[in-house]
Structure formats: C-alpha cells, structure tokens
Structure 1
Amino acid sequence: MSNNCAAALLVYTLAQIFIVLRFIETKGMSIAPYFGLILLVAVIIPFCRNFEKRWANMSNSGLSEQSLAAKFRADQVILWLLALGLPVLFVAVIKAIASIL
C-alpha cells in the first residue's frame, strides 16, 4: 500500500497543479479557492497515513491471502478515486459557486 499511497499523492499533487491551479488562475477569483486547496491537502495526507497504518496492522490479522487481496484491491480503488476525483470535484464546486455569484 505504501507504493500506492506515494503514487496517489504524486498524481494528486500534479492534478492540483495542472487542473485546479490553472482553473483558479484563469478565472481571477478571490483567495478563497486557495484556502480550499490547502484544505484538500490537509485532508488527503492524513487519509493516506491511515491507509498505511491500517495495512501495517492488517498484515498480522491472520486473514487469508484471498481476503487480503480483495481488501487491498478495494482500498486501492478508493485511494485512486480520491486522488483523481477530489481535484475534479473541487473545480466543479468552484465553477458552481462562480456561476451563482
């Protein structure tokens, strides 16, 4: 899971730079979206740390290989959905707020 968390954080950061920051800079909005970016970073790092702790403890749980593999795949999917989805969701929320104002 360590490799997945590291790669997901890297992709997440790149998505923040190339998707979110470009969107924010081109729209000329207030400083509020930048605080949102800080919030997104503050949320994802502890989440990845919890994944790491969970899998460090799960290796001693006595689960079968098949059960571990299924749990690993489910956690992997959740991690990547968050890493790819949060930046896109953030842009969608900013667009919605901008259209209201």
Structure 2
Amino acid sequence: MQKDWRRRISDNLAYGLLVYTGLQIFVTLKQLKEVSNSMLPYLALVVLVAAIIPAARLLERHWDRLDDAGAYDPIHAARFNRDRIIIWAVAIGLPFALAGIARAMAMMAE
C-alpha cells in the first residue's frame, strides 16, 4: 500500500530541512567566516535556516488540505514529483549558491 501524499511530502520536507541545515553549517558558514570574523556569520546562519521554514510550510499547505481519500489518489503524483524536485533543489542548491555569493564577496573585498 502506498503511503499517503501528505506523509510523503512531510518526510521529504523533514529530510530536506536536515540536509539544508547541514549544508548551511558546513558549506555556507565556512565561506561567511572568511568574509567576517565576528558573530555575523552565525547570525546569518540562523536567519538563513529560519527563513526556509515558512517557505517549506507554504509548499506543504496544499498537501495538508487533502482529505483522506485525496491523500491516496494517484492524480497527485505529478505535483508530488514537482514539489519533491523543488525541495531537494533548494535543500542542496541554495547552500552552495550562498557559499558562492559569500566567496564572491570575499574576493571583491580583497
């Protein structure tokens, strides 16, 4: 039996947020520390992680509104796949994009 779409999207969001946070810590924070030796990189990390949560909730809103019958309806497969691609593209791509921006800022400051 297939899991319901609500549960599957929640699982993807939860794991995506874990990956996003981990990458923010290990990739972006390293670049931000090169730009500044103050507490600013840590504050930026908190803001970047906190800012993604409302976006995740917005994406999840459609799935929360499904009733029990709709939760198992295969008609939602295409939207689920689209949303899953968005989740993982942002979770993996955004930290590297932000690290690139921080690196560019550091190079411009030299």
TM-score band, normalised by the shorter chain?
Answer: 0.7 to 0.9
Tell me the amino acid that sits aligned with residue 7 of structure 1: Y
Gaps of 5+ in 1: none
Give TM-score, length-normalised by structure 2.
0.74
Contact residue 20 and residue 92 of structure 2 kept, 8 A: yes
The Cα RMSD (Å) is: 2.5
Paired residue for 1:87? 95
Residue 49 (1) aligns with residue 64 (2): no
CA distance, structure 2, for counterparts of residue 28 and residue 70 of structure 1? 42
Provide, for residues 28-56 of structure 1, a one-character-per-residue CA deviation record: whole Å limited to 9, x for no partner: 62444333322211221111112222211
Residue in structure 1 matching 2:25, options 13, 17, 28: 17
> Which amino acid letter does the alignment assign opposite residue 97 of structure 1?
M
Give the gaps of 5 or more residues in structure 2: 1-8
For 1:90 and 1:7, the matched residues in 2 are separated by 20
SS at match of 2:36: coil
- The normalised TM-score by structure 1 is 0.80
Query: Which of 75, 83, 89 matches 1:75?
Result: 83
How many residue pairs get aligned? The number is: 99
Quote the residue 1:29 is aligned against.
Answer: 36
